[in-house]
A and B are shown apart, each in its own frame.
Chain A
Amino acid sequence: GGQPSGGDTSGSGASGGGLTGSVNTDGSSTVAPLTEAAADLFRDEESGVNVSVATSGTGGGFKTFCAGETDVSNASRPIKDEEAADCEAAGIKYTEIVAANDGLSVIVNPENDWAEDLTVEQLNLIWGPEAEGKITNWNQVDPSFPDQAITLFGAGTDSGTFDYFTEEINGEDGAIRTDYSPSEDDNITIQGVAGDVGAIGFLGLSYVEENEGVVKAVAVDGVMPSTETVQDGTYTPLGRPLFIYVNNASYVDKEQVKSFIDFYVANSAEIAERALFVPLTEDQVTTATDELASLG
């Protein structure tokens, strides 16, 4: 599993570079800790820059982003076509940067000793729209499972996590049974699963690692989510990248935004570790650096 971040900060450059101004970010609450960690570390370099992180969800973030309100949008899934169209209509040009990786994890109650490894098909059986009102007991998922009612918890509909999970497991963005307990607050999901033997839920890997013993992760198609399995790509289909979208104009025109984003990418490993995410691979770092370089 991943290690909680250490306390040591990078602080490589001389602090107080003299920049001022603000960097406004909004978007996924899953990605928010990543950007916050970046801002934490960045503050040691450029204490004059105000970084703010709002958490309207990935979809909500894109709305303000495409209205030109924010410089950076945090996203736990790629931008959708309609959202891109909005940006285009508003004349907003942007760059997508993968900032870290995450293993979207399926979790169950620690006392659940039957569902330790589920297939994508089983997950689809449990979570698909057709399951609504029908699949209510674990023994319907697999006859060998005990007679135990299933209760479901998961991310709220505005989150990228929701979009990603529905896309990957149910084959269509937003397609999911509705008789589950959606929450924009992942910790509520933890509470839900921890409080119910028959519960199952999904959320980011960091929550699983922080709540060992409270909830436990389920292997998907035989692979447990972890830094390694996510980085080496074996944890599929739920291993996923986390994104930040940078407003090109902001990057070019606002020195503080450029400085922050450059810092973000340059220190991605440390930032990811601090925020309990899976760091970028070498290739991903190179790609991101190149993308930025092309902006000038």
Chain B
Amino acid sequence: MTAIIERRGGPASGRAPAPASSFAGRRRPGEFLIKLALRLAAAVTVVTTVGILIALLIPSLSFFAEVPVLEFLFGTRWAPRFADASFGVLPLVTATLWTTLIALLVAVPFGLGAATLLAEYARPRVRKVLKPLLEILAGIPTVVYGFFALQFVQGTVLRDWLHLPTGAFSVLAAGLVMGVMIIPTIASIAEDAMSAVPQALRQGSAALGANRMQTTLRVVFPAALSGIVAAVVLGISRAVGETMIVAIAAGNQAQLVTNPLDQGQTMTGFIANAALGDSRVGSLEYNTLFAVGLLLFLITLLINFISIRFVRRFREAY
């Protein structure tokens, strides 16, 4: 055999004199540069966040120089672009709350139901088919959802079929459709959380004579609770931030919404509608856009942090 693989420190050579350099590091400048590049790429995400903050803050500061913060936050009349302007954001906030609430009323039960079915009942092969199908719901362009909400849900279902006393738009229709859109989001995270519950707990429960329902409700749900909460919270974040559906179907009238059959303009709806026109950079109108954007960003930021906390908790638990 050709001794291609030579033994460096074999017995034949005795104790090879080991110069201090025998392990000396080869210089790898390429490696260093690559790592630097990778780190920079990761840093882009931070730059994005800082960018968002700056982009939103600077116009917002000009805005708040003209409109007191308290008036903005607690005012009940939103008419920024009229001759008699006023800047109370509460109407937008109430509309956002309504659409979000309605969306959750749809998405939470159905999303959790679907997640439970997929995680606890469906065989892998069935799950492999159902899950992607369910995810199509999350992939439908929101413009398409918007017109579906406006024409079919509001026009046909709520008005023609149910004869509800509602006009052309309602936060109800927008919220319902938004809820359907969010179902896969909630289902997916909740399913992750349930799947992360160790099989051992299910087996332990089954071995005591519990059926699947009991195991699901009394062992898996409590064990996956933080993940389920995270799913719901992320659903809230999606609902608050969704734009096209509300811009199209919730209406454009900024009013304090007290009845879900009324129309209302959400924060995102306002931004989209206002942006359809083109405001002069630096004008109050332009700054208004960013003030609402900032509020929206801060609200979702808060929600996201709550959600991330819960996700982390269920990831750590097992």
Instruction: List A residues at the B interface (Cβ < 8 Å).
Output: 26, 55-57, 59-61, 63-64, 129, 151, 153, 156-159, 166, 172-176, 178-185, 188, 191-196, 199
B168 touches A178 (CB 8 A): no
CA distance A13 to B54 in the complex (A): 54
A129 touches B278 (CB 8 A): no
Instruction: List B residues at the A interface (Cβ < 8 Å).
Output: 77-79, 81-84, 86, 150-151, 154-155, 159, 166-169, 248, 251-255, 263, 273, 276-280
A188 touches B248 (CB 8 A): yes
Residues A157 and B81 in contact in the complex (CB < 8 Å), given A57-B278, A181-B251 = yes
B169 touches A181 (CB 8 A): yes
Residues A192 and B83 in contact in the complex (CB < 8 Å), given A56-B277, A63-B280, A181-B263 = no
Q: What are the residues of chain B within 8 A of A56 when measuring CB–CB?
A: 277-278
Q: Name B84's contact: one of A55, A153, A178, A195 (CB within 8 Å).
A: A178
Q: Name A60's contact: one of B155, B166, B277 (CB within 8 Å).
A: B277
Q: Name A180's contact: one of B84, B155, B253, B280 (CB within 8 Å).
A: B253
Can you list 27 A-B contacts with CB-CB less than 8 angstroms, sorted by A residue number?
A56-B278, A57-B277, A129-B83, A151-B167, A153-B168, A156-B277, A157-B82, A166-B83, A172-B83, A173-B83, A175-B82, A176-B83, A178-B77, A180-B253, A181-B169, A181-B252, A181-B253, A182-B273, A184-B277, A185-B276, A188-B248, A191-B168, A191-B169, A195-B166, A195-B167, A196-B168, A199-B168
Q: How far is the CB of B246 from chain A (nearest CB, A)?
A: 12
Q: What are the residues of chain B within 8 A of A63 when measuring CB–CB?
A: 278, 280
Residues A195 and B253 in contact in the complex (CB < 8 Å), given A156-B277, A174-B82, A176-B82 = no
B82 touches A178 (CB 8 A): yes
Q: What are the residues of chain A within 8 A of B280 when measuring CB–CB?
A: 63
Please, which residue of chain A has its CB at the minimum distance from the CB of B277? A158
A199 touches B277 (CB 8 A): no
Q: Name A192's contact: one of B169, B255, B279 (CB within 8 Å).
A: B169
How many A-B residue pairs lie within 8 Å, measured between CB atoms?
A: 93
Can you add 14 more A-B contacts, CB < 8 Å, to A158-B276, A181-B253, A195-B166?
A55-B276, A60-B277, A63-B278, A156-B273, A156-B277, A158-B81, A166-B83, A173-B83, A175-B82, A191-B150, A192-B167, A192-B169, A195-B168, A195-B169
Q: What are the residues of chain A within 8 A of B273 when measuring CB–CB?
A: 156, 182-184
Q: What are the residues of chain A within 8 A of B253 when measuring CB–CB?
A: 179-182
Q: Name A57's contact: one of B79, B169, B276 (CB within 8 Å).
A: B276
Q: What are the residues of chain A within 8 A of B248 when measuring CB–CB?
A: 188
Q: How far is the CB of A76 from chain B (nearest CB, A)?
A: 13
Please, which residue of chain A has its CB at the minimum distance from the CB of B251? A181
CA distance A57 to B150 in the complex (A): 24
CA distance A129 to B168 in the complex (A): 23
B277 touches A175 (CB 8 A): no
CA distance A183 to B154 in the complex (A): 18
Q: How far is the CB of A26 from chain B (nearest CB, A)?
A: 8
CA distance A188 to B276 in the complex (A): 13
Residues A59 and B278 in contact in the complex (CB < 8 Å), given A176-B82, A181-B252, A191-B150 = yes
CA distance A223 to B1 in the complex (A): 109
Residues A195 and B155 in contact in the complex (CB < 8 Å), given A129-B83, A175-B84, A188-B252 = yes
B251 touches A195 (CB 8 A): no
Q: How far is the CB of B265 from chain A (nearest CB, A)?
A: 8
CA distance A196 to B243 in the complex (A): 24
B252 touches A182 (CB 8 A): yes
CA distance A159 to B167 in the complex (A): 24
Interchain residue pairs A-B with the least CB separation, the first 7: A158-B277, A60-B278, A195-B168, A178-B79, A56-B278, A181-B253, A192-B168
Q: How far is the CB of B126 from chain A (nearest CB, A)?
A: 41
Please, which residue of chain A has its CB at the minimum distance from the CB of B272? A184
Residues A60 and B168 in contact in the complex (CB < 8 Å), given A176-B83, A178-B77 = no
B251 touches A192 (CB 8 A): yes
Please, which residue of chain A has its CB at the minimum distance from the CB of B278? A60
CA distance A279 to B78 in the complex (A): 39
